[in-house]
Amino acid sequence: MATPMFRFDPMTLPPEAEALRGEVRAFIADHADAMSFSRSGFDRDFSRAMGRKGWIGMTWPKQYGGQERSALERYVLIEEMLAAGAPLSAHYISDRQSGPNILRFGTEEQKRHFLPRIVAGELTFCIGMSEPNSGSDLAGTRTRAVKVDGGYRINGTKLWTSNAHRSDYAILFCKMAQPGEEEVDRHGGATQFLLDLKSPGIEIRPVIDLLGEHHFNEIFLTDVFVPDWLLLGKEGNGWNQVTSELAFERSAPDRFLALFQMLREMVRLAGPDPDRATAAALGKLVAQLATLRSMSLSIAGMLQEGLQPNTESAVVKDLGTRYEQDIPVVARQLFPTEPELEAVETYVSMIARSTMSAPRLSIQGGTREILRGIIARGLGLR
Ligand SMILES: Cc1cc2nc3c(=O)[nH]c(=O)nc-3n(C[C@H](O)[C@H](O)[C@H](O)COP(=O)(O)OP(=O)(O)OC[C@H]3O[C@@H](n4cnc5c(N)ncnc54)[C@H](O)[C@@H]3O)c2cc1C
C-alpha cells in the first residue's frame, strides 16, 4: 500500500491535560473582566499573570524558563483561552512562533537573553515577513541586509505587521544584498534577524483596518544597524527557517476558534427547543468544529513527536478559515438583525465585528490559494 501523503491520527488527551483544563477555567473566571469578543486584546498585565502561572513557553526547556510540559497540555490551555476571548496578543506570537524559532535556530546567548523574558510575559514579538509586492511571494522580498563591521546594515519596508507598534522585537525576514549579481536561486541569501524595534532608522506607521482599528503597521527601515549577535540562525538559511515558522503559525487552534463565542451566542439565542432548520444549521457548525478540533489535536500530537506536519497544518487552516467565514453568514440567516459595531447588545455587535473581519481570515498566515498549492504539493499533485 502507498504511504499516505498526510495523516490525522486520533489523539486522546492525557489526564494531565484534562487536569490543566480545570485550572485554566478557574484562572479565566478570576480574570473575567479581561475577556472580550475582540481578536486583538493586548494586555501586558494579563500576559504577566499567565507568565507567573508558567503558561507562556510552557513546552520549552526548564533551563530557559519553560516548564517542559507537553504540546497537548499547551493545546488545552490555548483552546480554553481562545474560547473565552482572553487577551493573548502581548505574548501570543512570541509563544507560538518566535520563541520556538529561537529555540530551534538561535545561539545559546539568544536563548538565554530572550526566552526567559518571553516566558515572563515581558517581551512582545511581531512577524516581519510581508512587504508591499511580496506577501504570498515571500521569496520576492526586497528588504536587503549588507554585512558591515560588527553587524549588518538593513534597508527596506515591511507591511501588514500586526502589533508592531506595541512590540519590542520583530523577526525580520530579508535577503543578503549581492551587488551586481542576478538572482539565480529565489530562496538564496534569505536571512532572519532579531530586530530591536527601538533601533535608530526604524519608523512604524499605522495602517487602519476595515473596523477602523489600529492593528496593522508599515515598518520603514533606513540604514538600520543590527549587531552580529542578533542574526538568527545562519546567513542564507532564512528560507528553511521561515518555512518552519509558518508551520507553527498555521497549525494552532486559533485558526477556527476565534468566533467560538459567537457560536455559543447563537446556541443561546436558539434556546432549548429550536426549530428543525435552526437545529440542523447549528448542528452542522458544531459537527464541523468537532472535526476541526480532532484534526488540530492530531497535529498537536505530531508536534509533540517532533514531526513537521506542514501539509496537515495547511489543510486545517484552509478548512478552519472556511468554517469561520461561514459563521456570520449562518448567523445572519438564522437570527437576522441590523449589525451595529458599537451596539451594547452582544449579538448585534458580534455580527458586525465578525462580518467585517471575516475577509482577513483567508488572507492572514497564507491565502487560500497558497495553502491549496501546499496541499497539492503534499499530495504529490504538483
Ligand atoms: C489580519 C492579518 C494579519 C497579518 N499579519 C501579518 C504580520 O503580522 N506579519 C506579516 O509579515 N504579514 C502579515 N499579514 C500579511 C499576510 O501574510 C499577507 O497579506 C498575505 O500573505 C497575502 O499577501 P498580499 O497581501 O501581498 O497578497 P498577494 O500575495 O498579492 O495575493 C493577492 C491574491 O493573489 C493570490 N495569489 C498570489 N500568488 C498566487 C499564486 N502563486 N497562485 C495562486 N494565487 C496566488 C492570493 O491568494 C491572493 O488572493 C497579515 C494579513 C492579515 C490579513
Using one digit for the tens of pLDDT, what is the confidence trace for 244-266?
Answer: 888 777 767 888 898 999 999 99
CATH architecture of 127-237: Beta Barrel (2.40)
For 289-298, b/e burial (b = at least 16 CB within 10 A) is beebbebbbb
Taking each continuous run of H as one helix and of E as one strand, the counts in the chain are 13, 8
Instruction: Tell me, in angstroms, the distance from the centre of ligand 1 to residue 360's CA.
Output: 9
Is pLDDT at 1 greater than 60 in this prediction? no
Domain ranges of the chain: 15-123, 127-237, 251-378
| Ligand 1 pocket test target in 39, 94, 130 with most atoms within 8 Å of CB | 130
Is pLDDT at 39 greater than 70 in this prediction? no
Element of type H or E holding 83: helix 71-84
Distance of CA 156 to the CA centre of its chain: 24
pLDDT at 179: 66
Is pLDDT at 181 greater than 60 in this prediction? no
* CB contact set of 291 (below 8 Å; sequence gap of 6+): none
What pLDDT digit, counting tens, does each position of 305-353 carry? 888 888 999 999 999 999 999 999 999 999 999 888 888 788 999 999 9
Q: Which CATH superfamily is domain 251-378 in?
A: Butyryl-CoA Dehydrogenase, subunit A, domain 3 (1.20.140.10)
Give the angle 218-119-82 at the CA atoms, nearest 5°. Answer: 70
Ramachandran category for residue 324: left, alpha or beta (phi over 0 → left; psi -120 to 50 → alpha): alpha
Which residues line the pocket of ligand 1, CB cutoff 6 A? 126-130, 135-137, 160-162, 360, 363-364, 366-367, 369-370
User: Under CATH, which number does the domain 15-123 receive?
Assistant: 1.10.540.10
Task: Give the position, in ligand 1's atom list, of the atom nearest the Cα of 130.
Answer: 11
Q: What pTM does this model have?
A: 0.94
Task: Give the position, in ligand 1's atom list, of the atom nearest the Cα of 158.
Answer: 11
Query: Residue of the nearest CA to atom 50 in ligand 1?
Result: 364
